[in-house]
Amino acid sequence: MTVRITRRALSAAALAPLLPTPAFAQAYPSRTITMLVGFAPGGGTDIISRFLAPVLQEEFGQTIAVENRPGASGTLAVLALSRARPDGYTMGMTTISASAVVPPLMVPPPFDIRRDQTPVVHAATVPMVCVVPANSPSRTLPELLERAKENPGALNYSSSGVATQQHLAAELLANAAGVRMTHVPFRGTGQVVNEILAGRIDLGIDTFPTYLPHIREGRVRALAVTTPQRVEWLPETPTVAELGFPGFDAVVWYMLIAPPALPQPIAERWAAAVNKAYENQDLRRRIRDAGFMIGGGSQQDAQRMLTTDADRYAEVVRNANIRLD
């Protein structure tokens, strides 16, 4: 009897050891998991990662080591993740900027935002807040914008990198107000906060978890929030929209991602674990007190969020003529 072995059969046989088996999925995880964070300690990405890690450790029964790899507006960590083995032992906490906005602007792009990362689950969303140093002469946002209009380019604003949400929000505001300010990018939010506190930056637009403690202690002054409606944490602080810029809306989301080709059972395990973590009332309280809005949902929800905002902000970048040199 002649046995014919097709090229397709040979390919399937070669791939078989690489594919997850039910036993593998059930045994996962069996060792430490690394969670890559593309920004320095102290920023929103780092904060939400460290809130979630202890609760997820209990769920998985393994250590989750948060590893900060700042640089290139958060894309260095996503690039490292894209090259990691898709076995569930290297995960990442990313942002809208690092995974959806910045990479297409880089020449050449460090990775393909649709092909080289696996969205797993939406972790959290935060509104953004416009702040100035405590000794700033601007008591309101209109006062700050009037100073900027009278002194084109003299006032500066900070961000944790070119084309990050902080940068895009400030550019949207400047364009809407018809003013010109100087962009000062840093490698991480922690550096930005230090410069704002020292009074060396005129305006910062960043996430609530980053500035809320400093606002409460009077170390910075909140001028406006970037959401369509006022937020519960600062009910007396007006929105940018109600100060003369209808429709202004800029938020930051955080998402758990994995290398491309992550086995579906592992992706579903992580999505389920994060959703279960958010049933923990103590965790929910801590996250809310820090200024985050709870995430969760399915892997499909995360995929839709990534692709929708990638398309939306591509248009914003084109209109604002933002480029990476």
Say whether both 156 and 85 belong to one domain. no
Domain region containing 236: 127-243
Instruction: Give the pair of three-digit tokens for residue 155.
Output: 């006032």
Q: Are residues 62 and 141 in the same domain?
A: no
Higher-scoring residue by pLDDT: 317, 58: 58
Does a structural domain hold residue 222?
A: yes
How far apart are the C-alpha atoms of 220 and 291, rounded to whole Å? 16
Whether residues 103 and 165 share a domain: the answer is no
Report pLDDT digits (tens) over 9-46: 333 334 444 444 455 556 899 999 999 999 989 888 99
CATH number at residue 169: 3.40.190.10
The pLDDT tens digits for 154-212 are 999 999 887 888 888 998 899 899 999 999 998 778 899 999 999 999 999 998 888 98
Q: Which of 193, 210, 243 is the last residue of a domain?
A: 243
Averaged over 310-318, what is the pLDDT?
84
Is-above-0.85 flag for pTM?
no
Residue 249 has a pLDDT of 87
- What are the pLDDT digits (tens) for 201-241? 999 999 888 898 999 999 999 999 999 899 988 999 999 99
Residue 260 lies in a domain: yes
Q: How many structural domains is the chain composed of?
A: 2
Same domain, yes or no, for 133 and 99? no
What pLDDT does residue 24 have? 52
In a domain, 6, yes or no: no
Q: Is residue 25 part of a domain?
A: no
Q: Is residue 22 domain-resident?
A: no
Position 14 in a domain: no
What's the pLDDT at 16?
A: 40
Residues 262 and 120 in one domain: yes
pLDDT digits (tens, 9 = 90+) for 61-89: 999 999 999 988 899 999 999 999 999 99
Closest to 164 (Cα-Cα) out of 78, 284, 223: 78
Q: Return the residue matching tokens 């380019």.
A: 153
